[in-house]
Structure 1
Amino acid sequence: MNPHALQEWIADLAEAFAVPGVAAGVWHAGKVSFACHGVTSIENPLPVDERTLFQAGSIGKTFR
C-alpha cells in the first residue's frame, strides 16, 4: 500500500462527497497505513488525524 496514493485517494473522496473530514486506516501486508483529510466539523474545525473519533452510526450491520 502506497501511503501517498492512499492520502490522495482519501482527499479526492472527501472532496467528491463534500465531507468536512475523513480518516482511514488500512492493514496490508503486515503494515498499517493511515490517511486523514480535512477537519472534524464545520462548527469545530479541528484537524482530522489518526486519533480522531467518528460516530459510526448504523453501518455495523454491513459487517455481519
Structure 2
Amino acid sequence: MLIIPVKDGEAIDRALKRYKRKYDRTRVVRQLRARQQYTKPSVVKRQQLAKARYKQQMQSKEDA
C-alpha cells in the first residue's frame, strides 16, 4: 500500500502527481500485463538476449 504524506497547504494535484509517479515505479501494471498471458521460459530468455544485444549495440554506437 502506498502512503503519500500531504503537507499543509500542498495542492492535491501535486500530491496526486507524486502518488502516480510512485505507483509507476512499483511496476504493478507491468506485472499484471505480463501475467495475463503465459510466456514460455525459452521465449523469455530469447527476449532477454535480444534486449541485451540491442543495449550493447546502442552502447557501442555511443562509444564510437
Q: Which has the higher strand share?
A: 1
Decide: shared fold, TM above 0.5. no
Larger Rg, first or second structure (1 or 2): 2
Q: Which has the higher contact order (CA 8 A, sep 6+)?
A: 1
Question: Which structure is higher in helix share?
Answer: 2
**TM-score normalised by L of structure 2:** 0.28
